[in-house]
Amino acid sequence: MNLDKAKENILKAGFLDIKTSDKIDFVKEIIKLKKEKNAVILAHYYQEPAIQDIADFVGDSLQLSYKAAEVDADLIVFAGVHFMAETAKILNPQKKVVLPDLNAGCSLADSCPVEALQALKDKHPDHIVITYVNTSAEVKAISDLCCTSSNAKKIVDSVPLDQPIIFAPDKNLGAWIQKETGRKMLLWDGACVVHEAFSIDKLISTHKSYPNAKIIAHPESEDHILKTAEYIGSTSGLINYAKNNPAKEFIVATEAGILHEMQKEVPDKKLIPAPAVEDNSCACSECPYMKMNNMEKLYLCMKYELPEINVSEEIQKKALIPIQRMLDISSRK
């Protein structure tokens, strides 16, 4: 396939929609392409196991942003969702950033269109805006500060007490941060489809089956789930907790992809995914966007260096400011 054809194909589908031969050894070819193209693969913990295993670095949103800011590669291959790849591009405007499937979005980012956030800002001109990184580049460009789940408390605490705050788009993370900091904020009404899918009734009955298990949860989960949790934290926070806590069983309330890395860290412990309301094949909650990426799309996107993430220079410059502020505040002792 020539490049023009490949681009046309991506415009239609958001990814390279060609059937690759079954004979292709994706692992071997991807390793070869990494060397040939001086590429680095950054992957989120929610990616499928094969992608996590071949990545150069696997991490949470904050770790991936730091990594994206320091990589020395010509091609950044982002195995995650669109806002993560966009953040990498904002931090590396001169580098080529590709994402295996452009349709890999995020319900939180979708819940916060830039025009609507601008309208709220206009209504509250005395407020500063803190946005979770799960937003578009345009939204970041009108934000004062960004945060991730692992530094949200620190970022909010860095703002003077008399300064009112708009916090967007995750109302669950926002409500948890309000409790943690004792700070009242104006919360956007957005949520993550994956973390809102947990069933409290099923969680309680799972806990009855494993009475010694500790419940640990991501702060994007709803309050009634968080209330049951022994520990609340980002994906890397959850992995560290399972590693450092002496308990032998954990019920994990976040996207099930995390269990791959967590189990590697605690091979002798029992990890139980928190159950979702709907009965589904994994009896857990999976992110449909994260799972749009697969090894075939990863291979094709490295081979053709498509689909590429592009951000206009004007938006890149504006969006970099709150991201850089976040990274600076976050690295303070």
Q: Which residues bind ligand SF4 (CB under 6 A)?
A: 81, 106-108, 134, 192-194, 220, 255, 287, 289-290
Q: What angle do CA 29, 236, 308 make, to 5 degrees?
A: 40
Q: Segment near ligand 13P (CB under 6 A), from 26-34, 147-155, 181-189, 321-329?
A: 147-155
Q: Does 47 bind ligand 13P (CB under 6 A)?
A: no
Q: Does 86 bind ligand 13P (CB under 6 A)?
A: no
Smallest distance, Å, CB 4 to ligand 13P? Answer: 34
Partner touching 107 among ligand 13P, ligand SF4, none, CB below 5 to 8 Å by kind: ligand SF4
Cα 88 versus chain centre, distance? 12
Smallest distance, Å, CB 108 to ligand 13P? Answer: 7
Q: Segment near ligand 13P (CB under 6 A), from 22-30, 143-151, 174-182, 240-248?
A: 143-151
* AA letter at 4: D
Q: What is the 3-state secondary structure (H, E, C) of 159-208?
A: CCCCCCEEEECEHHHHHHHHHHHCCCCEECCECCCCHHHECHHHHHHHHH
Q: Considering CB under 6 A, how many residues would be counted as binding ligand 13P?
A: 10
Smallest distance, Å, CB 252 to ligand SF4? Answer: 13
Q: Is the Cα dihedral 222, 218, 252, 276 positive or negative?
A: positive
Partner touching 193 among ligand SF4, ligand 13P, none, CB below 5 to 8 Å by kind: ligand SF4
Output 10 or 290, the one with its CB closest to ligand SF4.
290
Helices (H), the chain: 3-13, 26-36, 49-54, 61-70, 82-91, 107-110, 114-123, 137-141, 152-157, 171-181, 200-209, 223-226, 235-244, 258-265, 295-304, 313-331
The span from the CA of 333 to the CA of 329, in Å, is 9
CA–CA distance from 261 to each of 47, 65, 177, 244 (Å)? 10, 19, 26, 15
Q: Does 235 bind ligand 13P (CB under 6 A)?
A: yes
Q: Does 131 bind ligand 13P (CB under 6 A)?
A: no
Q: Does 48 bind ligand 13P (CB under 6 A)?
A: no
Residues that bind ligand 13P (CB under 6 A): 60-61, 134, 148-150, 192, 220, 234-235
